[in-house]
Amino acid sequence: MGGPAAQPSDRQQVPLGLGQLVVALDGNRRQLQRNLAAAAARLPFASVAASGRQPTQQQQQQQPKESKLPWALFGGSPAAAATPPASIAAATAAAAAAGGAELVCIEFTRDRRRVYRRQPGAAADDGSGAAEAAGGKGRRRGKDIRSRGADGSRKRSTEGGWEITDDAVRGRQRLGDLVSDYLLPQGYPQSVAPEYSSYMFWRGVQYFFGGAMSVFTTKSLLASLGVSNKRSGEAAAAINWVVKDGAGRLGRFLFARWGRELDCELKQFRLAGDALMESGAALELSTVLMPRWFLPLACTANLAKNLAAVAASSTRAPIYRTFAKANNLADVTAKGESVANLADVVGTAAGIALAKFNLPVLPTFCLLSLGYLYSSRREVDSVVLPYLNRARLSYAARSFLSTGEMPGLVEGNAREPLMPWSDPHNGRVVLGATVEEACAGPGQLKEALSRFAGRQYALTYRPDSRKCYVLLKQGATPQSVVNAALDAHCLLWMLDQQKAAGSSAPTAPAPVAAATGGKKQQQRSSSSGGSSNGGPVAQLHTAASSPGAPPGSAAAAEAALQFVAGSGGRQLCQLFEKEATAGGWRMDMTMLNPKETRLVVS
């Protein structure tokens, strides 16, 4: 009686419940993460953080909670962030000690490292950067000499004099990047609250059961409508319907990769989503003409409409937030959706009434689509966002550089380029560029770093692509990114002015623009250094009107770069920020979404 209790045999153990199974699997996952973290700590470069920044000792001690997401096993988990990243200085020293060609720089994109060396036969750094920029024709990968190292790293020797080594990328890393792109927010886990992981895990479980139930409910609905008396026919109809809906859900999944872009360019994506919605409606309309192609047409239409739904739902909250001035975002959202639903019901009733008149389908559809798209454009135009994104910064910079006056919130939002062809600088400013695409050779990189010494970025210009490339150094701050983008727009503005006017001076120099801007502008100019007697905007116009080289040449680009990198460029950045703040812009909320590549100079 007092002896030890009998232990049940393996065959007599009670089966684990669902909750116990989840706990056991979670324990196994944590142990696997600890093993992976211990193994990564022994590798010199495997645990470099995605942002590339080195956490302080206090930050390392205050790591977020471990993620409970199953996909955290594929990378991007807080456990990986909890591992102290390898020292960037140690990484640079190790790359230099590896021997071989002269080390020029190292760049990190997420946790991937790329090492740039000078080819042994390349020309020395004796001012050959301008010649490289003039003669570079972009990346000619077809003529690169490729090889693979013993450790799996990939090596290339380019015509520009680069010897590039990419660290080996395992299949697990590729899968982790794919999962991170489509399922995790950019900057995860530092960019979200610790509770995000638990919330999304159980949300995924909920939708899993909901998706399984939808097959049976759809089958029952179709059977009740008399689709078929045979179960096989009901199942086929249900499966076809589910496949159509599944294509739409796939579109939602694929669209998630551009989540950060939605934050930055929400007006552009909202318009694009509405255009997709009308495209999907047109495909649905065409099914009556081609009934045999119903399933592919319906799937494509549902794909387009679900992409539009993601764009609308993702941009709705930021737009409503601009209207909520009394901490009443939920109330504004609820009332806004009520207005939309009421209008939808009234529109449906109007459509039923119009259908009774037997109007021609195609002209009626086109007329309604035009009204839909016009209303969408006016809806977007009525939103005034208080921060700069790439499009608004492009317009504001061009306006400021031309007139010396910063546009206000209403003007900046109303004149924001919403279509790619309406922005002359669209796609010509590459923030966070790689060294390979920014520099034709080591000489151009050395000149750029020397020219922008003391800053957290460097600019280059490639005449062959007519683009300005911004190299962001490790640890570049958001303010540095804004200054770099403004410098890039200033460079492009100068080159465009020279090309448009030839060798003659611009028609509206800065002193005239400042003098004709009224008393308010004259007061701003005199108080902020933009006066007619030698302010930064006046200096910019003087430099643009006398490049000292043929417009469009590499020498003209070098002269423009020299001005931007000098004191004139610094004063322009300071004046722009001051004028923007005075005009109501929230500079601390600026969203430019640079690429994740960061540069470490040897």
Q: Which of 58-62, 185-189, 259-263, 399-403 has the highest mean pLDDT?
A: 399-403
Answer yes or no: is pLDDT of 141 > 60.
no
Mean pLDDT of all residues in the chain? Answer: 74
Angle of the 231-255 helix axis to the 196-224 helix axis, nearest 10: 150
Q: Is 117 helix (H, G, I), strand (E, B) or coil?
A: strand
- In this predicted structure, what is the pLDDT of residue 430? 93
Could you tell me the pLDDT band of residue 13, with boundaries at 50, 70 and 90?
Answer: very low
Per the CB < 8 A criterion, the answer to whether 445 and 535 are in contact is no
Q: Which range, of 423-427, 448-452, 494-498, 549-553, averages the lowest pLDDT? A: 549-553
- In this predicted structure, what is the pLDDT of residue 455? 92
- In this predicted structure, what is the pLDDT of residue 472? 94
| Residue for token pair 């609820």 | 334
Q: Choose between 509 and 353: higher pLDDT.
A: 353
- In this predicted structure, what is the pLDDT of residue 398? 94
For each of the domains in the chain, give its residue range(s) and CATH number, in order of start: 100-119+143-169 (no CATH), 194-225+236-382 (1.20.1250), 390-502+551-589 (no CATH)
Q: Which range, of 71-80, 221-230, 363-372, 558-567, averages the lowest pLDDT? A: 71-80
Could you tell me the pLDDT band of residue 582, with boundaries at 50, 70 and 90?
Answer: very high
Could you tell me the pLDDT band of residue 94, with boundaries at 50, 70 and 90?
Answer: low
Q: Choose between 467 and 529: higher pLDDT.
A: 467
Percent of the chain with pLDDT over 90: 21
Answer yes or no: is pLDDT of 536 > 90.
no
Q: Choose between 160 and 23: higher pLDDT.
A: 160
Q: For 312-334, how does the pLDDT look when each residue is reduced to its tens digit (9 = 90+)?
A: 888 888 888 888 888 888 888 88
The span from the CA of 474 to the CA of 53, in Å, is: 7
Decide the pairing of beta strands 145-148 and 112-118: unpaired
Percent of the chain with pLDDT over 70: 61
Q: Which of 58-62, 520-524, 573-577 has the highest mean pLDDT?
A: 573-577
- In this predicted structure, what is the pLDDT of residue 138? 43
Q: What is the mean pLDDT of residues 150-169?
A: 74
Q: Which range, of 10-14, 237-241, 574-578, averages the lowest pLDDT? A: 10-14
- In this predicted structure, what is the pLDDT of residue 471? 95
Per the CB < 8 A criterion, the answer to whether 462 and 440 are in contact is yes
Q: Which range, of 348-362, 374-388, 391-405, averages the lowest pLDDT? A: 348-362
The span from the CA of 420 to the CA of 62, in Å, is: 44
Cis peptide before 509 (omega within 30 of 0): no
Answer yes or no: is pLDDT of 14 > 50.
no
- In this predicted structure, what is the pLDDT of residue 513? 42
Q: Choose between 115 and 223: higher pLDDT.
A: 115
Q: For 164-209, how does the pLDDT look when each residue is reduced to its tens digit (9 = 90+)?
A: 888 766 656 667 666 676 677 767 777 777 877 887 788 778 767 7
Per the CB < 8 A criterion, the answer to whether 432 and 596 are in contact is yes
Q: Which range, of 32-36, 126-130, 169-173, 593-597, averages the lowest pLDDT? A: 126-130
The span from the CA of 160 to the CA of 117, in Å, is: 11
Answer yes or no: is pLDDT of 79 > 70.
no
- In this predicted structure, what is the pLDDT of residue 59? 42
Q: Which range, of 147-156, 298-307, 431-440, 475-484, averages the lowest pLDDT? A: 147-156
Predicted TM-score of the model (pTM): 0.71
Answer yes or no: is pLDDT of 71 > 60.
no
Q: Choose between 117 and 392: higher pLDDT.
A: 392
Answer yes or no: is pLDDT of 415 > 70.
yes
Answer yes or no: is pLDDT of 457 > 60.
yes
Cis peptide before 189 (omega within 30 of 0): yes
- In this predicted structure, what is the pLDDT of residue 224? 67
Q: What is the mean pLDDT of residues 448-453?
A: 93
Chain centroid to Cα 47, Å, comes to 23
Give the residues across from 460 on adjacent strands.
Answer: 469
Range 191-224 burial, b when 16+ CB lie within 10 A, else e? ebeeebbeebbeeeeeeeeeeeeeeeebbeebbe
- In this predicted structure, what is the pLDDT of residue 470? 95
- In this predicted structure, what is the pLDDT of residue 50? 35
Answer yes or no: is pLDDT of 48 > 80.
no
Q: For 240-294, how does the pLDDT look when each residue is reduced to its tens digit (9 = 90+)?
A: 555 656 666 666 666 666 667 777 888 998 899 889 889 988 998 888 888 888 8
E strand or H helix that includes residue 115: strand 112-118
Q: Choose between 470 and 185: higher pLDDT.
A: 470
Answer yes or no: is pLDDT of 461 > 80.
yes
Chain centroid to Cα 405, Å, comes to 29
Q: For 212-225, how does the pLDDT look when each residue is reduced to its tens digit (9 = 90+)?
A: 776 666 666 656 66
Angle (CA) 511-514-515 rounded to 5° is 85
Q: Choose between 158 and 116: higher pLDDT.
A: 116
- In this predicted structure, what is the pLDDT of residue 137? 45
- In this predicted structure, what is the pLDDT of residue 18? 58
